[in-house]
Structure 1
Amino acid sequence: MDWMIMLAQLLLSLSFLVAVHEMGHLLAAKYFGMRVEQFSIGFPPKLWSFRKGDTEYAISAIPLGGYVKISGMIDESLDTEAMNQPPQPWEFRSKPAWQRLIVMLGGIVVNVIVGILIFIGLTFFLGDTYILKDEINKSGGFLVGPIGEQIGLKTGDQIVKINGKEFKYLQDIFNMETLLSTNGSYTVERDGKELDIPIPADFIENFSSSKSNPGQFLSLRMAPVIAQVQPGSVAEKMGLRAGDRIVEANGAPIQYKDQIDKQVQAMVKDSLSGNSDTVAIKVNRAGAEVAMKADFKNFRRQKMLGILVDSTPSEDFIKRAEERVTYGLIESIPLGTKRAFSMLTANVKAFGRVITGKLSAQKSISGPLGIMKAFGNQWDWARFWTLTGVLSLVLAFMNLLPIPALDGGHVMFLSYEIISRRKPSDKFLETAQKVGMLFLLALMVFIFANDIIKMVTPD
C-alpha cells in the first residue's frame, strides 16, 4: 500500500508538470500560426484522446513524459516523409528562426513560472516554522549520528556559526546552500572552545542518503523520559513506569536520552562479563525522586533494560524553540521567487559538481524510483507541492541542456541559425535527433538501474 501512495504522488506530479510544459510549447506554436497535430501526456500506446480543431489531445500509457507534435518540426516522431514534402505556411520550419526559438523555449519558461508560483503559494499559505538554534544549544547541543561523526562532529556540540557567520535557525544547518558551499564549515563550541569543522565537498551525498533517517546526521538531544516499559523485562521488575524521567543510572547522572543508552550498554556489558549484576536506576516521578535496583543475572539473555525512551521534543521545548512566521501576499511574491531561484541555483551547482567529478553520479542522481521514495508513504500536500515545485525548476534546467532531442538541443541549433543566418540541413537535424534520443535512452537505462541498485543496497 505504501508504494501505491508514493507512485500516485509521483504520477500526479509528473503528469501536471508535463502538461504545463507541453502546454507552453502548444500555446506559443498556436500563437505564431503553427499547426499542432498532437498534444500528449505520456508516451504511446494511447489510452484516450479527443480532437479539437487540428489538434488531437491524448493521454498515453507511459507516464514518464509527454510531447507536442508540431507540423514541420523534426522531433521524436522522426517523420521524415512529411519533411520531404514542400514546406507549408503553417509548418514550424516555415516560420522565422526567432519564432521557432520562442516556441522551443515555451515549455522551459512555463516550468520556471510554475515553479516560482508554487513556492510563492507555499510561502503565502503555509508560512514558515523555524527551530531556534540558541534553544537547541541551551538544551545540550546536538545528538550526532554516524554521518555527522564522519566529518568530526560529536554529541553535545553546539553549532554556533556556519561558514564563519552567525545564524539563527536549525534549518540553516541543513539547507542546500550550506551543504553545497565552497570551503564550507560548521563552527562548534565544545568543552568551552570553538572549533571549525570543514564540510567536505561530497558531504551532500552522505547527507542525501540519510534523509530517510535524519538522526544519521544530527538530531535533538532529548530528555530521558520513559515512553514504554516492555512486559517481563528488567525495567518492569524494577518498577519503572511510562512517564518516569531517568536522572541517574548506576551512580552516573543522566540528562539526555543518549546518556542512558550508553549506560544501559555498559550495564549489559558488565553483567555479561560477570563484573556486576546490579542495575541501579533513579527516576523523577511526579516531582519526587525514586531509587530502584534489580538483579540483572536472570535477564542476561535479553541484553537490554526493556524501556523505550521518548524521542519527541517536550511541549516545553517546542514552546520555547519554535518560531512561526506568516507572510502576506505582497511579502510572499519576492520571498517565494527568491526561494525558487535558490533551489534552482543549488541544483545547478550540484549538477556542475557531478559533471566535474566532485560528486558521484551514481550517488547523486535519482530517477523516478528515487523521486517516488522522496514523496513518502503518506500523502502530505505541503511536501507534495514542495517537491513538485523543485521538479518543475529541475525539469526546466534539464530541458535547457544543449542535447539534441531535448528543447535545449533545438535552442542550440536555432541560436546558431540566428547568429550565422545559416540553417542546418534537415538531414543534419534528423541525425542529431537520433543521436540525442540514443543518448537519452542510455541515460534513462542508467538512471533506472541506479535507482534499483540504491533501493536494494543498504545506506
Structure 2
Amino acid sequence: MVFLIKALQLILSLSILVILHEFGHFLFARLFNTRVEKFYLFFNPGFTLFKFQKGETEYGMGWLPLGGYVKIAGMIDESMDKEQLKQPPQPWEFRAKPAWQRLLIMVGGVLVNFILALFIFWMVLFKWGESYVPVEGAQYGYSYHPVGHEMGLQDGDIVLAVDTFKVKTISDVAHFLFLEEPHAMTVKRGDSIFQLPIPEGVGQRLLSERVKQFAGFRIPFVVDSIVTGMPADIAGIQKGDSLVAVGGKQVPFFYEFVEELKKYSGETTTISFYRDEMLMSLPVRVSSAGKIGISPCSLYNYLEVKERKYGFFEAFPAGIRKGVNVLVGYVKQFRLVFTKEGMQQVGGFGTIGNLFPPSWDWLSFWTTTAFLSLILAFMNILPIPALDGGHVLFLFYEMVTRRKPSEKFMEYAQIAGMILLLALLLYANGNDIVRWLSK
C-alpha cells in the first residue's frame, strides 16, 4: 500500500509538472504564431493511449511515463523529423522565427516551472503557514550519528552555529556540513558554549556513508502504544511506562535506548522503567530485528514548536524567498554529483518517489512538487543537447556570431544529447535497483 501511495503521488506530481512545462513552450510558440503539431503527456513510441485533434495541434497521452513533449514545426527535437527540414522554411516554422523569439520558446518551459514552484510555495505558506522547532526548542538536546560523535559531539549537545551561519533548525547543521565546507561549529553543552573544529571532508564522508539523519531530537522514551503479541506486551510493559535502561545500562532517551536494544537482537535482556514513579525491571525477549513492539509518545510533547501564519499578500514575498533558497541549495548540492560519493547517490524514479510521504498528505505533496518543479527547471536549462539548455546554448552562439549552426550539426548534437540522457537515466535507475537489492 505504501508503494502504491508513493507511486500515485509521483505520477500525479510529474504529470502536473510535465504538462505545465510543455505548456510553457506551447504558449510562447503560439504567441509568435509558430505551429505546434503535437502536445503529449508521456512519450508514445509505437502507440498512443489516446489522442485528439484540435486546430493544428494533436493532443495525446503516451504510455511511457518518462516526460512529455511538444513537437514544434521546423525544429530539430527528439522526434528527429528530417523530412520537414528538407523543405524551404515556412513562416509558421520555428526555424523561420528571429533568434530572440526562438529563445523565448525554448526557455518557456523552464520559466513556467520556476514560476509554478514560487506559486506553490506562496499558496502553501498562505494555507498552512510555517512551523518548525528552533534549535533551542529541544529541551533535551539532540542525538547524533556516529560521525558526529567522532567529530566530538555528544548526545544532548545543541549546535548553535556552523562557522558564521546561525543554525535555525537542526536540519540546517547537515545542510551546512554538506554544502558549505565549514571549519568549526558553536556548541552548547549544559551551561557551557564552546567552539568545536570540523574535520576536513566531513560532508563527503556523510555522503559516502549515506547518512540520512545527522542529528535527531532527543526525547524520553515514554511508551505510547504496544503491539499485541510482541515481546513488550508478553513481558507486561504498559502504556505510560518510562523506559530508562537496557541490560543494566542507563539509556533514558529514545534514540540511545533503540541503539542499545539492537545489541540484544535475538536474546533476552532486562528492561528497566518507571511506572507511577516506581523503578521496575522485567526480562524481555528482543526480536531478531532488535525490536520489542512499542512506540514512544509524540516527540512534540517535549519540543517547543514555533508557528507563523501568513496573509495572502504577506505569503507572496515569503514564498519567493523560500523558492529561491531551495533552488540555491539544490544548485550548491548539484556540484556533489561530480564526486565519486555523489555519483553513488544519484537516483531515478525510485529515489524521487521516496521523497513523498507514505500516507497522502497535501502539504507534503505540494511542497515536494514545488521542489521537483525547481529541479526540473534547473536540469532542463543545463547546456546539454536534447535539453532546453542545449538549444539555448546554440541560440546564444547564433546571436553572438550572427550565423546558425548547420542542421546536420544540430541533428548530431541532438542524437548525442539523447544518448547521454538515456545513459544517465539507466545509471540513475540502476542505482535505485542496486540499493533496493542491497537491502
Query: Which residue type is aligned with residue 307 of structure 2?
Result: R
Q: In the superposition, relative to structure 1, how do residues 204 and 406 fare at CA in structure 2: closer, same or farther (>3 Å)? A: farther
In structure 1, distance between residues paired with 2:375 and 2:255: 39
For residue 114 of structure 2, what is the aligned residue in structure 1?
112
For residue 35 of structure 2, what is the aligned residue in structure 1?
35
**Native 8 Å contact 1:164 1:187 kept in 2:** no
Give the drift of 1:56: 0.5
Q: In the superposition, relative to structure 1, how do residues 224 and 430 fare at CA in structure 2: closer, same or farther (>3 Å)? A: closer
**Native 8 Å contact 2:221 2:254 kept in 1:** yes
In structure 1, distance between residues paired with 2:219 and 2:322: 31
For residue 445 of structure 1, what is the aligned residue in structure 2?
426
Give the drift of 1:390: 1.0
Is 2:325 the partner of 1:328?
no
Give the drift of 1:386: 1.2
In structure 2, distance between residues paired with 1:232 and 1:85: 75
**Native 8 Å contact 2:42 2:66 kept in 1:** yes
For residue 146 of structure 1, what is the aligned residue in structure 2?
146
Match of 1:400 among 373, 378, 381: 381
**Native 8 Å contact 2:162 2:176 kept in 1:** no
Query: Which residue type is aligned with residue 92 of structure 1?
Result: F
For residue 219 of structure 1, what is the aligned residue in structure 2?
216
Query: In structure 1, the residue corresponding to 2:313 is in which secondary structure?
Result: helix
**Native 8 Å contact 2:219 2:302 kept in 1:** no
Q: Kindly provide the CA deviation profile for residues 34-83 of structure 1, in whole angstroms up to 9, marking residues without a partner as x.
A: 11111111101311111111100111111111111111111111111111
In structure 1, distance between residues paired with 2:261 and 2:423: 52
TM-score by length of 2: 0.86
Q: Kindly provide the CA deviation profile for residues 354-401 of structure 1, in whole angstroms up to 9, marking residues without a partner as x.
A: 23x2752121x2211210122133212111111111111111111111
Name structure 1 gaps, 5 residues minimum: none
Query: In structure 2, the residue corresponding to 1:338 is in which secondary structure?
Result: helix
Query: In structure 2, the residue corresponding to 1:38 is in which secondary structure?
Result: strand
In structure 1, distance between residues paired with 2:380 and 2:289: 55
In structure 1, distance between residues paired with 2:33 and 2:424: 35
In structure 2, distance between residues paired with 1:124 and 1:111: 20
Give the drift of 1:33: 0.9
Structure whose CA Rg is larger: 1
Query: In structure 2, the residue corresponding to 1:80 is in which secondary structure?
Result: coil
TM-score by length of 1: 0.83
Give the drift of 1:172: 3.4
Q: In the superposition, relative to structure 1, how do residues 205 and 292 fare at CA in structure 2: closer, same or farther (>3 Å)? A: closer
Structure 1 vs Structure 2 CA RMSD: 3.4
Query: Which residue type is aligned with residue 296 of structure 2?
Result: S
Match of 2:129 among 116, 121, 127: 127
Q: Kindly provide the CA deviation profile for residues 1-29 of structure 1, in whole angstroms up to 9, marking residues without a partner as x.
A: 32222111111111111101111111111
Query: In structure 2, the residue corresponding to 1:330 is in which secondary structure?
Result: coil
Query: In structure 1, the residue corresponding to 2:67 is in which secondary structure?
Result: strand
In structure 2, distance between residues paired with 1:67 and 1:232: 53
For residue 362 of structure 1, what is the aligned residue in structure 2?
344
For residue 283 of structure 1, what is the aligned residue in structure 2?
274
Give the drift of 1:252: 7.7
- Aligned residue pairs, count: 432
Query: Which residue type is aligned with residue 188 of structure 2?
Result: E
Give the drift of 1:456: 2.1
For residue 347 of structure 1, what is the aligned residue in structure 2?
330
Q: Which moved more, 1:412-421 or 1:375-384?
A: 375-384
In structure 2, distance between residues paired with 1:154 and 1:352: 31
Is 2:399 the partner of 1:418?
yes
Name structure 2 gaps, 5 residues minimum: none
Q: Kindly provide the CA deviation profile for residues 211-261 of structure 1, in whole angstroms up to 9, marking residues without a partner as x.
A: 4xx4xx322222232444987969976x65331335688998775345666
Is 2:419 the partner of 1:428?
no
- What is the percent sequence identity of the aligned residues? 38
Matches within 5 A, 1:44-443: 44=44, 45-136=47-138, 138-139=139-140, 141-149=141-149, 151-174=151-174, 176=175, 179-183=178-182, 185-190=184-189, 192=192, 194-198=194-198, 200-202=202-204, 205=207, 209-211=210-212, 214=213, 217-227=214-224, 228=226, 241-246=238-243, 255-257=252-254, 281=272, 283-285=274-276, 289-292=277-280, 310-313=295-298, 316-318=301-303, 321-355=304-338, 357=339, 359-363=341-345, 365-443=346-424
